Amino acid sequence: MGLTAGHPVEDAVTPAPLVLGSNDFGSVTDRVCEINEWKTPRAWYVAFGIALTLLGVLLAMVSYLVLAGLGVWGLNMPIAWGFAIVNFVFWVGIAHAGTLISAILFLFRQHWRTSINRWAEAMTVFAVCCAGLFPGIHVGRMWLAYWLFPIPNQMKMWPNFRSPLLWDVFAVGTYATVSVMFWYVGMLPDLSSLRDRAKTKMRKILYGVFSLGWRGSARHWHVYERAYLILAALATPLVLSVHSVVSFDFATSVIPGWHTTIFPPYFVAGAIFSGFGMVLTLIVPSRTMFKLEDFVTKRHLENMCKIILATGSMVGYAYLVEFFIAWYSGNMYERYTFINRAMGPYWWAYWIMVTCNVITPQLFWFKKVRTNLVGMWILSIFVNIGMWFERFVIVVTSLHRDYLPGSWDYYSPTWVDMMTLVGSFGLFFTLFLLFIRFIPIIAASEVKGVLPQAKPHGGHE
C-alpha cells in the first residue's frame, strides 16, 4: 500500500499528521459523505447477502431451540454453561474496544481516536446486540426471559439483587444504552451534513429527522461539548465495570479455576485485547475498500497494534499468575484444575488460546509487522480466535472437573451450538454493513477539529 504524503508513521520527534493528503474542511465532508451517497457497490451486495444468509441461520437455530428445547444444545449436568455463555462473554468483550476508543482515549486527549471512533462505537453497539441474545435464549423458557428484569408481577416476586447474574443484566443493559446514546450524540453533526447534501426526498426526510435539526450553532456546540465530555467520563468507569461484573459471574462462585480475585482486571484486559482485534479485522479491509487511507493512516493502525501487543501481554501475564497462584495456594483442587487445563482432555483448546493470545501478538514488537496490512489483519483474526477459546477454556474446563469425580463429564457442542455461533456473526455483519451504507463511518466534524487549519490562532493556545 502506498501512502500519499508526509511521514506516514510516527517517529520519535515529530508525530505523523493525523490526516494525510491535501484535505481541507470541505474535502473531509465530501470524502466521508460520498461513501453513503455513491451507488451501492456490488461487493456490498455480495457481503450483505452472505451476512443475511447467516442471520437466517441464526433465526432458524433459535427457532429450533425454542420449539425443541435446550436438549438440542450439547449441555450436560456439570457443564450447564456451554456455548451460550462462551459466546456471550466473547461478544461483550469485543464491545469494549469501542468504548475504550471513544471514551478513555478521548479523556486522555489521544486525538488519533477521531478517525476510528465511529466504527469502533458501531462495533460496540452491534457486539452488545449479539451478546444480549445469548443469555436470553440460554434461560430455557425464553418467553419468560423478562423475569430477568425487576418488573412488578402478579406473583409478587423480585429477582435476587445479590446475584451477579442480575448485576450482569444491569451492567450490560446500562452499557448498551449508554453506548447507543454516545454513538448517536457523536454522529448528530455528521447526520446534518448528509441532510444538507441530500438529493432525494427520502434522504431529506430521514436524515432531517435523525439529525434533530442540528445546525452547528456555537451555543449548541458549547453544551454539546460539555455533554460529550461528561458522557466520556461516565463511560470510562462503565467500560471497566461491565467486564468486571461479567467476571463476577465466575469469580463469586466456588468452582476451582473461577474463584479468583484476578478475574476482573484480567477480564477487562482481555476484553480490550479482543475488541481491538475485531476493530482491526473490520477496519483494514474497509479502509482499502473505501479508500480512506488519508484518514485512517498507518499511524492509527500502528497505534492499535501497539495496544493489542500491550493488552495481549497483560493477558499472558494473567495466565502465568493464575498458574502461580494455583501452585502457591496449596489447594489441591485449584492445582488440579490448572494442570488439567493445560494437559487434560481440553489441552488443545488451552494451547490454541495461548498461541493466539500470547505468542502471535508478540510479532507486533516488529515495526515491519505493525505497518504491514496483511500481516496485522491475519494477526487480528488470531486474536479473535484466541479470545473465543479463552472463554471456552474458562467455562468448560472448570465445569467439567469439579470436586467429585462422580460428576465429571465431557462437553462437546452439537451442530446447533456451532451454527448459532456462526449465525451470531451474521447478525453482527448485517448490522455492520447497514451501518457502512447509511451512516457516516468517520466522525467528519471531529476530524475537521484536528486539521491544522482548525486552530484559530495558528496552533498557539
Partner 1 sequence: MSAPAWGIVAVFETPAEILRAAEAVRDAGYRRFDVHTPFPVHHMDRAMGLRDTRLPWVILGMAVLGCATAVGLQGWAMGKGYPFILSGKPLFSLPAFVPIIFELTVLFAAFGAVFGMLAFNRLPALYHPLFKNRPFSRVARDGFFIVIESSDEKFKAEDVRKLFESLGAKEIEDVHD
Q: At what angle do helices 83-99 and 415-438 cross, to 10 degrees?
A: 20
Q: Which stretch binds partner 1 (CB under 8 A): 183-191, 269-277, 360-368, 395-403?
A: 183-191
Q: Minimum distance between the CB of residue 238 and partner 1, rounded to whole angstroms?
A: 5
Work out the widest C-alpha separation in the chain, in whole angstroms.
75
Q: In whole angstroms, what is the distance from residue 166 CA to residue 206 CA? A: 37
* Nearer to partner 1 among residue 25 and residue 64 (C-beta): 25
Q: In terms of Cα–Cα distance, which of 6, 30, 27, 29 is closest to 18?
A: 6
* Nearer to partner 1 among residue 244 and residue 340 (C-beta): 244
* Nearer to partner 1 among residue 126 and residue 167 (C-beta): 167
CA distances from 43 to 156, 428, 442 (A): 54, 18, 20
Q: Which stretch binds partner 1 (CB under 8 A): 237-245, 272-280, 364-372, 399-407?
A: 237-245
Site for partner 1 in 90-119 (CB under 8 A): none
Query: Which residue in 62, 70, 145, 185 binds partner 1 (CB under 8 A)?
Result: 185
Site for partner 1 in 137-156 (CB under 8 A): 150, 156
Q: Minimum distance between the CB of residue 38 and partner 1, rounded to whole angstroms?
A: 17
**One-letter amino acid for residue 409 of the chain:** D
All 3 cell numbers of residue 246? 461479567
* Nearer to partner 1 among residue 178 and residue 396 (C-beta): 178
Site for partner 1 in 388-447 (CB under 8 A): 445-446
Q: In whole angstroms, what is the distance from residue 177 CA to residue 118 CA? A: 16
Q: Minimum distance between the CB of residue 167 and partner 1, rounded to whole angstroms?
A: 4
Q: Minimum distance between the CB of residue 253 and partner 1, rounded to whole angstroms?
A: 11
Q: Minimum distance between the CB of residue 108 and partner 1, rounded to whole angstroms?
A: 19
Site for partner 1 in 39-98 (CB under 8 A): none
| CA dihedral sign, ordered 427, 268, 394, 353 | positive
Q: In whole angstroms, what is the distance from residue 370 CA to residue 363 CA? A: 8
Question: Which residues in 276-312 are b (16+ Cβ under 10 Å) and which e?
Answer: bbbbbbbbbebbeebebbbbbbbbbbbbbbebbbbbb
Cβ proximity of 446 and 114 under 8 Å: yes
Site for partner 1 in 10-29 (CB under 8 A): 24-26, 29
Q: In whole angstroms, what is the distance from residue 60 CA to residue 54 CA? A: 10
Site for partner 1 in 205-234 (CB under 8 A): 208-209, 212-227, 230-231, 234
Count CB-CB contacts under 10 A for residue 159: 14
Query: Which residue in 158, 328, 366, 410 binds partner 1 (CB under 8 A)?
Result: 158
Q: In whole angstroms, what is the distance from residue 283 CA to residue 305 CA? A: 12
Q: Minimum distance between the CB of residue 100 and partner 1, rounded to whole angstroms?
A: 16
Site for partner 1 in 159-178 (CB under 8 A): 159-164, 166-167, 170-171, 173-174, 177-178
Which residue matches cell numbers 457502512? Answer: 436
Query: Which residue in 23, 102, 117, 193 binds partner 1 (CB under 8 A)?
Result: 193
DSSP 8-class letter at 410 = -
SS (H, E, C) 15-66: CCCCCCCCCCHHHHHHHHHHHHHCCCCHHHHHHHHHHHHHHHHHHHHHHHHH
Query: Which residue in 99, 102, 192, 420 binds partner 1 (CB under 8 A)?
Result: 192
* Nearer to partner 1 among residue 190 and residue 334 (C-beta): 190
Site for partner 1 in 246-265 (CB under 8 A): 248
Q: Which residues have a Cβ under 8 Å from the Cβ of 234 and sit 6 or more positions away?
A: 178
DSSP 8-class letter at 11 = -
Query: Which residue in 13, 157, 374, 404 binds partner 1 (CB under 8 A)?
Result: 157
Q: Minimum distance between the CB of residue 393 and partner 1, rounded to whole angstroms?
A: 25
Q: Which stretch binds partner 1 (CB under 8 A): 42-50, 293-301, 393-401, 452-460?
A: 452-460
Q: Minimum distance between the CB of residue 19 and partner 1, rounded to whole angstroms?
A: 13
Q: Minimum distance between the CB of residue 197 and partner 1, rounded to whole angstroms?
A: 8
Cβ proximity of 297 and 20 under 8 Å: yes
Decide: is 36 part of the binding site for partner 1 (CB under 8 A).
Answer: no
Q: Minimum distance between the CB of residue 245 and partner 1, rounded to whole angstroms?
A: 6
